[in-house]
Chain A
Amino acid sequence: MSPPNRRDDEIRRMLDTPHPLLPAGLAAAATARGHRILRRRRAVHAALWTLLLAAVVTAIVLAALMWPSSPPPAEPGTWWPPQN
């Protein structure tokens, strides 16, 4: 975007010191941590799905048990159909 700049090049040269050596066990440690993150994520997902399923089942059972029975039709006193 901006034209090449001598001052920016100087900064780039200043930053581009020799790279530090990568520690030997870094990849293995990161892999182990990544596996742990994935395992934890999977456990949380399983727990949440189980909770959701349990909530749905409980709601259905409670609804079936506690559903208000429809009131029986009142025998007398209706004006329709006219009984005579």
Chain B
Amino acid sequence: MPCHGGVGRRREAAETRRDAEFAAFVAGAGGRLLHSATLLTGDPAAAERLLLPTLAAVHAGWLRMRGEDPYELARRELFRRFVHRPWWRRPHGGVLDGLSPQERTVVTLRFFEGVAEEQAAAQLGLPEDRVRAIAARATAALRSAAPRPNRPAPLGATRAVPR
């Protein structure tokens, strides 16, 4: 690396600061991202395999960010990578067992990450109505599949909330 006095030193300092900021970011947001990846893939090992290249891409683009939210960037990258996975790597298991990859994406983005419908639709490249329909179908499937001890009780009864 040719060192032109101040330029090389400044770049080195920027890279050192980038590494420190990235480590702090992963320590803070990594758990939530890993949980998202686990919900998507349904398998902790696969989630880790999905998260590692995501974080590497975020690290590689760290110095190009101009006041953006790194968490937003990482989430977009994570979901983009999950959506573009080949069809033979279907997710199965986990909390969202039985849902299609698209339903997993929409449910995780809407209900775990708390992204609004319009933004989820824009991020996934789907019409908003479609996202709403997918979310409704997936929630119905989840609610019918989930074991609910308080279901037979009438609506006004006290709800025993587990956890």
Contacts and interface: CB of A to CB of B under 8 A. Distances in A.
Given A20-B44, A26-B55, A30-B52, A12 B23 contact: no
A10 B34 contact: no
Contact of A15 (B31, B55, B95, B118): B95
A26 B15 CA distance: 19
B105 interface: no
Chain B contact surface mostly: helix
A19 B59 contact: no
A8 B132 CA distance: 12
A13 B163 contact: yes
- In which size bucket is the chain B interface? 35 or more
A10 B146 CA distance: 11
Interface of B: 19, 22-23, 26-27, 30-32, 34-35, 38-39, 44, 47-48, 51-53, 55-60, 62, 95-96, 107-108, 111-112, 116-118, 139, 142-143, 146, 161, 163
17 contacts: A8-B111, A10-B143, A11-B139, A11-B142, A11-B143, A12-B112, A14-B142, A14-B146, A15-B95, A15-B107, A15-B108, A16-B112, A26-B48, A27-B26, A30-B56, A37-B59, A41-B60
